[in-house]
């Protein structure tokens, strides 16, 4: 193990019919299926889809950081 860490950031968009928090959790759950060493995230955009005058879908853009293996 080295004495420093190196990270990579990827951008994801999560969505949910119920909440912004669920949209974040959905994106992170999917990312965790193929990315290892997930360490942090930041929300960069929040938006939604409107249908019949109400929120139909929440969409959240995230930057997710993961640690490069053995760094």
**More confidently predicted of 5 and 23:** 23
Report pTM.
0.85
pLDDT number for residue 3: 72
2: pLDDT strictly greater than 60: no
SS3 string, the chain, reads: CCCCCCEEEEEEEEEECCCHHHHHHHHHHHHHHHCCCEEEEEEEEEEEEEECCEEEEEEEEEEEEEECCCC
Measure the CA–CA gap between 37 and 8, rounded to whole angstroms.
10
pLDDT tens, position by position, 14-70: 999 999 999 999 999 999 999 999 999 999 999 999 999 999 999 999 999 999 987
pLDDT number for residue 70: 79
């Amino acid at each position: 193990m080295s004495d420093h860490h190196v990270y990579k950031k990827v951008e994801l968009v999560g969505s949910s019919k119920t909440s912004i928090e669920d949209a974040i959790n959905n994106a992170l759950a999917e990312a965790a299926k193929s990315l290892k060493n997930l360490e942090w995230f930041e929300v960069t955009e929040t938006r939604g889809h409107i249908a019949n005058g109400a929120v139909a879908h929440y969409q959240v853009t995230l930057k997710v950081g993961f640690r490069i293996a053995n760094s």
